[in-house]
Each structure stands twice: as C-alpha cells, then as structure tokens.
C-alpha cells in the first residue's frame, strides 16, 4: 500500500464512521502511522519524579525509536535520540537509571548530561567533539509531566500550557512518585486500542468494577444536562479554587468532572486509595481531572493519586500499553497505601479492554467488515480521535506526495 493508496483510503471514509479496513490492517500502515501520527505529535513521555536528580535518566521507546530523557547538572530535563553519534548504538537500555555521564556501551564514547560529547578514544587529531553531540528531541515540562515531540516542527504547545496548567497544577505532580507500573501487550492495532480507550459506551456491561465510581452513563463529553449534582459539584470546585474546564484543542482535551455520588476516588469502594493527599483543597473529594493527548495517552488525577495510560504501536497488530499509578512522594507503601490494591479498578479494566480490543481486531479482519457509524451521544471522543487521525494522516500524505512527485510513494521521515 503506497502513499497514494493510503490517501485514497482516508478520503473514502464516510464522516462519522470508523476507518476503512486497510487503515487498521495493511502492513504499510505501521510505518505510516509512526511517521504521520506518533512522529509529529506531543507525547506524554513520563514524569519529572522519574528523573528527580542530576544524572537520573529514563530510556523509553516511541514504537521502534529509542529516546533518552536526562536531568542535567543544572537540573534541567532534556531529551535526546538514544543513538550514539559514532555508529548509532543505543546508549542506555530501556528503563530508569542514574549515571554521572552517558557512556556508549559499544566503544565508550562519553557524553555529558547535556548531550555534549566529552571524549572519543582513538579518533584523529582534527576530530571535533563539538560536532558530535547527541541529537536533541523537542521537550516541554509542565507541572511535573514531561512531553516530547520527535518532529522539528511540533504543534504549538502554548495554548496547552496556558489553558491546562491551571487545572493540573494543584495536583502537585512535582512532589509525586510512581507507586506502580504495569505493561500489557495487546494483539490489536493501536487505533483500535485508542478507540476503545476513548469511550465508555461499553463500560456498563464490560467494566462493572470501574462503573462503581466512574459515571459510565454520562453523555457526550461528561455532559450532565444541567443536573443539580453537577451544578453543586462545579460550585464546590470553584469554592475550592479548582478550575474544571473543559479546555482543549484538536490534539488534547481536559476536564474535571464528578464521580458517582458518594465516591471520592476511582477505587472499588470509592474511598481514597492513599492517606497522603496530593491535592489539599476540597477535603479529598474533588472528582477526577481527565486529560488526554492524541494519539496515545490519557490520565485521571483524583485527590490522592494519578492513573496514566499510554498506547505505543509495536507492529501493525500489536500495541504496548503502559499504566502508571502516582502518589505523593511522602506516601509509604503498606502504611499510606496498598501497592497492589491501588491498581484497582484500572488493572482489571485494562485486562478487560485488552480482550475487547483483540476481539475487535478479529472482527475487523473479517472480509465482512464494513465501517460502522459512531454514536454521536456515546462516542464523541472516539469520533474526535478518528477525525484527528484522518486529518493528520491526510496532511502527511499530501506532503509526501508533493515530495515524491515522480510517484515513488516512498515513506519519508517525519
């Protein structure tokens, strides 16, 4: 499937409907989506508490692309392509670590924490180390969250910062810690994983644990149609100094919303999962702040914890889901919170969603698959995601077709 065929498939999509089969299934779509969507978008790469001190680093992957996030001696957090400037070896294996400098495991080229090449043994006298520093990745840090973009021309971050920072700042993520991390491999195209994660049309039947606290029957984008309890909640949040939104652009959205009556947190019993609060206002009863970025992530922040979800494609029909739970940095496992219990109900929900996404993929594989209509009442965020994807993909196709006027259809880097 070349660029022109992909563009034709995108253009053939009926408004308000799911994608043509080839956009979920064709092998060419894996590389295409990496460049058209993941390579050009702001991604939630982690949290500042994961790199708390100079020398701390986080080595991550965006699909097949390794990225290194490092806190320097000046305490600034930077991101680099995790590829040695000698022969391209990966500098730091995936995960968290700490080192006074970055040393390539292959030939020991050594870099400072700011990415500058410090030494390269047995190179000629005219070799200039200043020409061989690590290649930077665009990075923004906001209220304890790290965002990266692999493109040299990323979307503007300004409105996101201006509109969303007042909502997230009270959650004090600069003083958080990661209490638990789980990963899950889903045998489904990443777009199906994200579509599932962008709606609760299925939640009442498929997520009984989550439905105890989460308002699964709310319509549109947490629209309560003027219900008295919602008005009371908004007034209470205003009194507590906690803005609710909604705010957003085509690639992100955020809103603070009430949980089910009597529920303070997204837990099995609705009680707070950690005794140490992250938000002091509102006496621990502040609902949930949800924010999401296309193409890969969403998060929920309650008074005492943050749940983070990220989906990264690893092949056309495989997606790596990463879940993280954050609590206050002073919270003590076994005293203030249960290290395993804090994962519920999202641990169970993720397993249920894996099964749903894989079943969805099996059905999309059928020769009888035909794109169906989204519910304008229950799948607003799914439609928003798919529209965003189609717009981004079509724009990328147009650029590539312009660059390949001879008709080669070769994919180019974002």
- Report the 10 Å Cβ neighbour count for 158: 9
Give me the pLDDT at residue 405, please: 40
Q: What is the pLDDT of residues 33-88, one digit of tens each?
A: 999 999 999 999 999 999 999 999 999 999 999 999 999 999 999 999 999 999 99
DSSP 8-state assignment for residue 274: B
Instruction: Note the maximum CA span of the chain.
Output: 76
- Selection from 127-141, 215-229, 389-403 with the highest mean pLDDT: 127-141
Describe the strand order of the beta sheet including 288-293 as a list of residue ranges.
Answer: 176-186, 318-328, 306-315, 297-301, 288-293, 252-257, 247-249
Give me the pLDDT at residue 221, please: 84
225 & 288 share domain:
yes
Final residue in a domain of this structure, among 92, 119, 149: 149
Q: Residue 154: inside a domain, yes or no?
A: no
326 & 216 share domain:
yes
Final residue in a domain of this structure, among 129, 149, 169: 149
What lies within 8 Å, CB to CB, of 177 at 6+ separation is: 49, 326, 327, 328, 329, 331
**How far, in Å, are 5, 163, 394, 395 from residue 405 at the CA level?**
15, 41, 16, 15
Give me the pLDDT at residue 217, please: 83
Three-state secondary-structure class, residue 236: helix
Whichever domain contains 106, its CATH number is: 2.102.10.10
Whichever domain contains 223, its CATH number is: 3.90.380.10
- CB < 8 Å & 24+ apart, contacts of 361-367: 361/24, 361/187, 361/188, 361/189, 361/192, 361/317, 364/21, 364/24, 364/25, 364/189, 364/192, 365/25
Residue 198 lies in domain: 1-40+159-414
- Whole-prediction pTM: 0.94
What lies within 8 Å, CB to CB, of 64 at 6+ separation is: 34, 314
- Report the 10 Å Cβ neighbour count for 134: 23
77 & 180 share domain:
no
Three-state secondary-structure class, residue 324: strand
What's the CA gap between 273 and 343, in Å, rounded?
9
Mean pLDDT for all residues in the chain: 95
Give me the pLDDT at residue 403, please: 58
What's the CA gap between 239 and 122, in Å, rounded?
66
DSSP state string for 144-173: TEEEEE-SSSPPP-HHHHHHHHHHHGGG-G
pLDDT band, very low/low/confident/very high, at 218 (cuts 50, 70, 90): confident
Does 411 have pLDDT greater than 80? no
DSSP 8-state assignment for residue 260: S
What's the CA gap between 239 and 260, in Å, rounded?
20
150 and 414 Cβ atoms separated by less than 8 Å = yes
pLDDT band, very low/low/confident/very high, at 349 (cuts 50, 70, 90): very high
What's the CA gap between 303 and 286, in Å, rounded?
6
Give me the pLDDT at residue 404, please: 44
Task: Count up the domains in the chain and report the number.
Answer: 2
Give me the pLDDT at residue 413, please: 44
Lookup: tokens for 283: 């006496």
18 & 132 share domain:
no
Does 257 have pLDDT greater than 50? yes
377 and 2 Cβ atoms separated by less than 8 Å = no
76 & 219 share domain:
no
Lookup: tokens for 215: 């308002």
341 & 383 share domain:
yes
Percent residues over pLDDT 90 in the chain: 92
Distance of CA 382 to the CA centre of its chain: 15
Does 224 have pLDDT greater than 90? no
Calculated CA dihedral for residues 14, 15, 17, 20, nearest 10 degrees: 40
Q: What is the pLDDT of residues 261-281, one digit of tens each?
A: 999 999 999 999 999 999 999
**How far, in Å, are 105, 154, 253, 410 from residue 402 at the CA level?**
41, 20, 32, 11
Q: Summarize the confidence of residues 105-133 as an average pLDDT.
A: 97
Select from 352, 353, 299, 350 the least CA-distant residue to 326.
299
Final residue in a domain of this structure, among 95, 114, 149: 149
pLDDT band, very low/low/confident/very high, at 223 (cuts 50, 70, 90): confident
252 & 298 share domain:
yes
Angle at alpha carbon of residue 402, lines to 401 and 404, rounded to 5°: 60
292 & 408 share domain:
yes
If one compares 384 and 406, the residue with the highest pLDDT of the two is 384
Q: Summarize the confidence of residues 205-211 as an average pLDDT.
A: 96
1 & 69 share domain:
no
Q: Give φ, ψ of 358 to 5 degrees.
A: -65, -40
């Amino acid at each position: 499937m070349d660029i022109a065929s992909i563009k034709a498939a995108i253009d053939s999509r009926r408004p308000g409907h799911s994608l043509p089969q080839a956009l979920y299934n064709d092998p060419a779509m894996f590389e295409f989506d990496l460049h058209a969507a993941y390579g050009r978008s702001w991604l939630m790469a982690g949290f500042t508490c994961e790199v708390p001190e100079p020398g701390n680093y986080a080595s991550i992957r965006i699909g097949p692309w390794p990225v290194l996030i490092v806190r320097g001696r000046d305490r600034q957090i930077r991101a680099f392509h995790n590829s040695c400037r000698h022969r391209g070896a990966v500098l730091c294996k995936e995960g968290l670590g700490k080192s006074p400098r970055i040393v390539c495991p292959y030939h020991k080229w050594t870099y400072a924490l700011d990415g500058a090449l410090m030494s390269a043994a047995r190179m000629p006298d005219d070799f200039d180390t200043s020409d061989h520093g690590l290649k930077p990745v665009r990075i923004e840090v906001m209220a304890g969250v790290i965002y990266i973009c692999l493109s040299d021309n990323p979307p503007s971050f300004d409105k996101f910062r201006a509109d969303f920072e007042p909502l997230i700042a009270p959650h004090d993520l600069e003083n958080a810690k990661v209490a638990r991390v789980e990963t899950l491999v889903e045998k489904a195209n990443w777009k199906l994983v994200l579509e599932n994660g962008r709606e609760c049309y299925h939640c009442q039947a498929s997520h009984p644990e989550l439905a105890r606290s989460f308002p699964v029957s709310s319509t549109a984008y947490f629209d309560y149609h003027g219900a008295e309890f919602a008005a009371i909640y908004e007034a209470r949040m205003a009194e507590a100094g906690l803005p609710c939104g909604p705010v957003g652009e085509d690639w992100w959205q955020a809103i603070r919303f009430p949980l089910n009556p009597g529920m303070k947190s997204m837990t099995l019993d609705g009680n707070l999962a950690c005794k140490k609060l992250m938000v002091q206002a509102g006496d621990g009863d502040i609902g949930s702040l949800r924010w999401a970025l296309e193409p890969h992530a969403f998060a929920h922040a309650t008074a005492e914890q943050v749940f983070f979800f990220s989906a990264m494609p690893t092949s056309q029909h495989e997606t790596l889901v990463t879940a993280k739970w954050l609590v206050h940095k002073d919270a003590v496992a076994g005293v203030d919170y249960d290290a395993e219990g804090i994962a519920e109900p999202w641990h169970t929900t993720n397993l249920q969603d894996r099964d749903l996404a894989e079943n969805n993929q099996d059905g999309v594989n059928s020769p009888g698959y035909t794109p169906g209509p989204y519910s304008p009442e229950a799948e607003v965020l799914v439609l928003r995601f798919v529209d965003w994807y189609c717009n981004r993909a079509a724009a990328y196709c147009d650029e590539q077709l312009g660059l390949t006027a001879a008709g080669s259809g070769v994919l180019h880097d974002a």
